[in-house]
A and B are shown apart, each in its own frame.
Chain A
Amino acid sequence: MKKYTYTESKDTRSGFGAGLLEAGRKNENVVALCADLIGSLKMEAFIKEFPDRFTQVGIAEANMMGIAAGMTIGGSIPFTGTFANFSTGRVYDQIRQSIAYSGKNVKICASHAGLTLGEDGATHQILEDIGLMKMLPGMTVINPCDYNQTKAATEAIAEFNGPVYLRFGRPVVPIFTAPDQHFEIGKAWMVNEGADVSIFATGHLVWEAILAGEQLAEMGIDAEIINIHTIKPLDEEAILKSVAKTRCVVSAEEHNRLGGLGDSIAQLLITKDPVPMRYVAVNDSFGESGKPAELMKKYGLDAAHIVEAARSVLQAKQKQLANSPQLASL
């Protein structure tokens, strides 16, 4: 198991703020909009440097999505900023018609995604947003894992032509990826090569997968860990290659079990290479108030649950191999 260490923890939303500033410096067409959550989205630096390229829309998310769509006509590259719930569920039809179906170059940037928003509770903790966005034809869906990767992703989507949903979170999480990394949309990142089980994780769960990998290594289990930062388009090649080697899969995400990364992987495998699989995700439930770490534990999203899922799927694999001698010879 490759060793990942960190000296600093930071929120992924701050990575977005830093990336937005850099994207703004590189391209004068990058503009930003916000629905009364400048501080939460960490947009201050961009606004300070480019006051004429920022639009405060007020508490009117539907209007913000429409304005952003219209701004693309004439060449602006708008980045909208609000909480994930108000970036997706609240304005689904606006995104569907005015952005996705219209093929507009809008970057929907969503903070406070998932359970780890914490104390605000279920009304603000959307766990369905990945599903909602990935179902829209032509929408790219990205969920980076730490500060550095979120910054790199933000800069990358400014250079990409098409609608993008960029999802990040509120709590501080370890920074374990390189500050100067190249972010390629749709290209999964190999965190650790292994032979026994494939763990495909996204967002905050990548770090938990690394912790789980260390624990599994102590048990003599060699886990392959891949960071699926882009959920759509899915890096099918990387997933199938890993599965061909390990023959069993765990998916890990801070999202509802229904409609998230796990379902995308399951859909791929069922048609191309069915193998035993377990989901680490919220089991079709709303969240509740609590500290991020408490919620991750209660809703089954921490390293311990990934370890448990890996052991369970390994058992399923062994059983399958025992029942199919021809498979064992593969």
Chain B
Amino acid sequence: MTSTKMLSESELEEIAKQVRRDIIRMVHGCQSGHPGGSLGCTDFMVALYFKIMKHDPAFHMDGTGEDLFFLSNGHISPVFYAVLARSGYFDVSELATFRQLNSRVQGHPTTHEGLPGVRMSSGSLGQGLSVAIGAALTKKRKGDQSLVFSLHGDGELQEGQIWEAALFAPAKKVDNLIVTIDVNGQQIDGSTEQVLSLGDLHAKWVAFGWDVLKMDGNKMSEVMATLELAKSRAHNGKPIVILMKTNMGHGVSFMTGSHKWHGAAPNDEQQKQALSELTSTLADY
């Protein structure tokens, strides 16, 4: 079935809490992975898959007539996998195999292992915007009115290919594309400000010719409203970019706001504490 679910804000928040529990347990289970960005992007990913996108968990690679999503910052695979599983693309029990031998849920997303819901491998940064543009162009050529969404990290904007793509999309009027940048201000070696300042991101995207929106990515009501607004502004001659402010590690007190949790796994004690802060559960895998 291809449909947008009619869920309330509080129902989405419940799902987000469960997804955060999944993320913690997945990364703890294999003692590796990227919890920080995953937790920060959870509200956005839940809103997208449970409210905003028209999509089909039966999964067809071509996605004709469906909205498509591309995860460019592939290291936040835990949130991607958890949201796909919770949406019905594959059994949630498979999340327990994250980053382990013979698993389809690889450290970074792959199409190679045939995981339903993944249309493009990612992990090497900076490539997803070009891919999203390509998919959007095929939709336009075929008269398919559905939309293409993508998610990128702010650190990822340091890759040159992003700016090749950023220049291309407005010039060629790729207006069925809604891009979101996770502006959490953190990357592996420290803050984006310290590592390589991104400057005035709003001014940069405007200068490149994009329709630019902003939102608090950890406030479900605002995420829902902004994504709906973005949809209403599609097909208007310009690609859309949403600068989404998030907290790395959002939802777990000791992980919040620090690049330390970009790519580190919690120990047993830390997992216990994290799960105690994410009390409500729809049922763990």
Please list the residues of chain A having a beta carbon within 8 angstroms of any beta carbon in chain B.
Answer: 31, 52-53, 55, 57-58, 60, 62-76, 78, 93-94, 96-98, 101-103
- Most A-side CB within 10 Å, residue of B61, B121, B132, B165: B121
Q: Are A98 and B130 in contact (CB under 8 A)?
A: yes
Question: Which residues in window 186-236 of B have CB below 8 A to A?
Answer: none
Q: Are B68 and A63 in contact (CB under 8 A)?
A: no
Question: In the complex, A72→B129 CA distance in Å?
Answer: 15
- Most B-side CB within 10 Å, residue of A58, A97, A101: A97
Contacts of B124 in A (CB 8 A): 93, 96-97
Question: In the complex, A76→B124 CA distance in Å?
Answer: 24
11 contacts between A and B (CB under 8 A): A62-B160, A66-B161, A69-B131, A70-B134, A71-B135, A74-B139, A76-B137, A93-B124, A93-B127, A97-B122, A102-B120
Name A's interface SS.
Answer: helix
Min Cβ gap B209→A in Å is: 14
- B144 partner, pick from A60, A66, A74, A97, beta carbons under 8 A: A74
- A65 partner, pick from B119, B123, B130, B168, beta carbons under 8 A: B130
A94 with B135, Cβ < 8 A, contacts A31-B141, A103-B112 known: no
Question: In the complex, A69→B120 CA distance in Å?
Answer: 9
Interface residues on B, range: 35 or more
A71 with B168, Cβ < 8 A, contacts A63-B161, A97-B121, A101-B121 known: no
Beta-carbon nearest neighbor of A62 in chain B: B161
Contact of B264 with A by CB under 8 A: no
Beta-carbon nearest neighbor of B129 in chain A: A66
Q: Are B122 and A76 in contact (CB under 8 A)?
A: no
Q: Are B121 and A98 in contact (CB under 8 A)?
A: yes
Question: In the complex, A141→B205 CA distance in Å?
Answer: 39
Question: In the complex, A98→B124 CA distance in Å?
Answer: 9
Q: Are A60 and B167 in contact (CB under 8 A)?
A: yes
Q: Are B134 and A68 in contact (CB under 8 A)?
A: yes
Q: Are A55 and B137 in contact (CB under 8 A)?
A: yes
Contacts of B95 in A (CB 8 A): none
Min Cβ gap A221→B in Å is: 48
Q: Are A66 and B138 in contact (CB under 8 A)?
A: no
Q: Are B130 and A66 in contact (CB under 8 A)?
A: yes
Question: In the complex, A76→B139 CA distance in Å?
Answer: 10
Q: Are A94 and B127 in contact (CB under 8 A)?
A: yes
- B138 partner, pick from A57, A64, A76, beta carbons under 8 A: A76
Question: In the complex, A53→B142 CA distance in Å?
Answer: 11
Contact of B110 with A by CB under 8 A: yes
Q: Are A63 and B120 in contact (CB under 8 A)?
A: no
Contact of B284 with A by CB under 8 A: no
- A70 partner, pick from B110, B126, B130, beta carbons under 8 A: B130
Contact of B111 with A by CB under 8 A: yes
- B120 partner, pick from A58, A70, A93, A96, beta carbons under 8 A: A70
A70 with B161, Cβ < 8 A, contacts A57-B168, A98-B121, A102-B121 known: no
Question: In the complex, A75→B62 CA distance in Å?
Answer: 7
Q: Are B127 and A74 in contact (CB under 8 A)?
A: no
Contacts of A94 in B (CB 8 A): 127, 130, 161
Q: Are A75 and B121 in contact (CB under 8 A)?
A: no
Min Cβ gap B14→A in Å is: 32
Contacts of A101 in B (CB 8 A): 110-112, 121
Contacts of A73 in B (CB 8 A): 61-63, 68, 119-120, 134-135, 138
